[in-house]
Amino acid sequence: MKFWILPFLIFASLTARAEDVRIQIWHQMIYGHRQVLAEALEKFEKENPGITVQATYRETEELRSSFQSAAMGGSGPELVYGPSDQVGPFATMGIVRPLDEVLGSDYFQNFDPLAAPVYDGKHYMIGDAVGNHLMLLYNKKFITTPPKNSQELIELGKKMTVDTNGDGKIDRWGLVFNYTEPFFFAPFIPAFGEAFLKADGVTPNLNTTALKDTFQFILKLRDQDKIIPKECDYETANALFKENKAAMLINGDWSWGDYQQAKVDFGIARIPMISETGKWPSPLVGTKGYSLNANMKSEAHYEAAVKLLKYLTSTPVQLLFAEKVGVLPSNLQARESDIVKNNPLLKISADIMEVGTPMPVTPEVRAVWDSLRIQYQKVLAGSLQPQAAAEQAQITAEQQIRDMNEVLTPGVGATVLKVIFGIGIVLLIWLTRNSLVAFFKGFRGPQRFAYYMMLPAFIGIFAVIIYPFFYNIAISFSNFSLRTFQDWSLVGFHHYIAALSDPRFYSLFLKTVIWTVVNIVFHVSIGVFLAVIINQVIAGKGFWRALLIIPWAVPQYITALTWRAMFNQEYGPINIFLQQFLHMSPVQWLSQPTTAFAACILTNVWLGFPFMMIVALGGLQSIPSSLYEAARLDGANAWQRFRHITWPLLLPVMAPAALLGSIWTFNNLNVIWLVSNSGEPGDQTHILVSYVYKAAFNLYRYGYAASVSVIIFLILVIWGLGSLKSQFKKETK
């Protein structure tokens, strides 16, 4: 038997050596850029037959969090492509490699300095284009000369904002942009007086008249001048401009390719000067570029990744992007090409960049963005005045920067914890010694074939469930954070004390309970109701069962984003229905905390009822029809039959399903995160699990996030065991 295995192993090893080196790139390029990237990679693979490249698109925030998660396990893509503001966090964590030792210092002299951001004296990224900045785009179908100042912008915006059919609904807006996000209103802050960061690029400068005036300016555009929609995220603004339903748009150079493909005849200009101050808005100017993962599978992967990095930032590839999607090359030699010199958009873009501000790459910027976002959205919702928002933004930013950079040192608690862990491990081994010995003996016993067949499943369960579970418990007692990503240590119960002494934890817990209870009540009620209807009344049961299970079968990501679009105040079909058929005023679904939370609940109810319906339908089919016949003979009506027959006999089936559903709902991140767009407005729609996600991947507080996740686990264990015990008592009566 062993002689047959040996040739197979030799053949497998030779085949493995002959395989191509497979390089992965994670990127966040929009559709037009992805097509050009695919063309460039196809050419690279032809020129390098021993290398295969797999490019994977991830949305910007997903790319950050996924790469951090992969880096925790020592894996991830060889190359990661994204905006320059990710340089600071990734470099601080030690998950990207300094390029100076890879490419040499002379290599960067061929590139625009903006395309080679420096952090702690080293280069961690090389950009393939320069800009990534905001500007005013105008549709030449409506506007021939762009406005030069804010007064002209408002006057032109009012003229362009029209209701063509007189139905009370705006058919074309004067101006649209994703004004709910700080990045899109940040250019206005220095135009009103002061930058939002001090000269060191780290210290927030938010409690200023400039920020207050910026808040008031955006409110004026929306509420007084009424030239921008009441609700407008990136996708809404993008769609309106493409469909000629907006005359002007504030967006970045990355969007040009999309509008060119949509056949929009557009021009670009600086964001208009603020008339009151005489200052130009200053968009953040930076780059999107490639970084090398610090974790490489082998020397061959490292060499192939470096080769690919040089190729993607080479003159021919940059010219390909410049020709196809109109970006400004970072390579100085590429800029001498006629493709660049003869592109009118790039000439104007260069003029816009002259009033821009280099994009800061320090990790602290993340905390500043987050604090701005929270307070600004409260201003937009009308729950906070601009002056108070500016003051609170400064306080929040400073606190979050302290939390982000906190490095806890091991104390007595760490020693106690190590002793407890040591005793626990010894005790666990002692209590399970017989089972462990029997398990390992099984690999040499008469049932060894079954044990070897079981081994892959056991390894999989250990790698996917057991190890991550105990790893999470370990880091919950550690100082694992931005500054200790590579060398964390156990510090004790600090994070648990901090979490349980924070009043916000309890308010979020209450909101999570409400979220869970309301969802499960509707899931079970609607599910059982539909199951009863299908089982007893409607013909074509198979058709209706297949139709109604669709909401559960469609991926949550797609459903959540679809419902978010449906809740749009101006263009969402829900508000259109309320206005046209019920003659109600449009509801600000996503702009107010209560309605935003209700929107998340409605979305999750839609996602969850089919599961309960299928479970209930299975339970109904097991109830003998003779019971219903006897009840009818006794004169029982439909409600009495349901109350005394259907529900009691269905309860043993529905109780475990409801318990399982409550655990899923309690931990449901996708719906809250996607429908509310990360907790909008102003972080007021978070539940515990979304709060944990933000603490870990937005503010890099991994130890704290792990401790809250362990508390969530304990809450669910107690709830689950209590529910099962209660159900067991009812069944044994």
Topology at the third CATH level for domain 134-282+363-405:
D-Maltodextrin-Binding Protein; domain 2 (3.40.190)
In this prediction, residue 733 has a pLDDT band, given cuts at 50, 70 and 90, of: low
Question: Please, what is the end-to-end C-alpha distance for the chain in angstroms?
Answer: 59
What is the pLDDT at residue 9? 40
Report the residue count for the chain: 733
Which residues are CB-contacts of 188 (< 8 A; sequence separation ≥ 6)? 214, 217, 218, 271, 274, 281
Measured in whole angstroms, how far is the alpha carbon of residue 74 from the centre of its chain?
22
Query: Alpha-carbon distance 186 to 373, whole Å?
Result: 11
**Could you give phi then psi for residue 48, rounded to 5 degrees?**
-130, 75
At residue 51, does pLDDT exceed 80? yes
The closest of 541, 496, 698, 522 to 600, measured between CA atoms, is: 522
- What is the predicted pLDDT for the residue at 11? 43
Mean predicted confidence (pLDDT) in 305-322: 94
SS3 letters across 96-147: ECCCHHHHCHHHHHHECHHHCCEECCEECCEEEEEECCEEEEEECCCCCCCC
Helix axes 688-697, 60-72, angle to 10 degrees: 80
Residues above pLDDT 70, as percent of the chain: 97
Query: Could you report the per-residue pLDDT of 640-673, keeping only the tens digit for each?
Result: 988 999 999 998 899 999 999 999 999 999 999 9
More confident residue, 175 or 549: 175
Question: How confident is the model over 105-119, as a mean pLDDT?
Answer: 90
The residue assigned the tokens 């869970």 is 516
Domain at 2-130+287-354: CATH code: 3.40.190.10
At residue 15, does pLDDT exceed 60?
Answer: no
Per-domain residue ranges of the chain: 2-130+287-354, 134-282+363-405, 408-461, 504-732
Q: Is 134-282+363-405 in the same CATH topology as 2-130+287-354?
A: yes
CA distance 612 to 526: 8
Helix 647-666 crosses helix 593-620 at what angle (to 10 degrees)?
Answer: 140
Task: Say what the pLDDT of residue 451 is.
Answer: 84
The fold adopted by the segment(s) 504-732 is MetI-like fold (1.10.3720)
Asked if 410 and 492 touch (Cβ cutoff 8 Å), the reply is yes
pLDDT band at 58 (very low <50, low <70, confident <90, very high): very high
The whole-model pTM stands at: 0.88
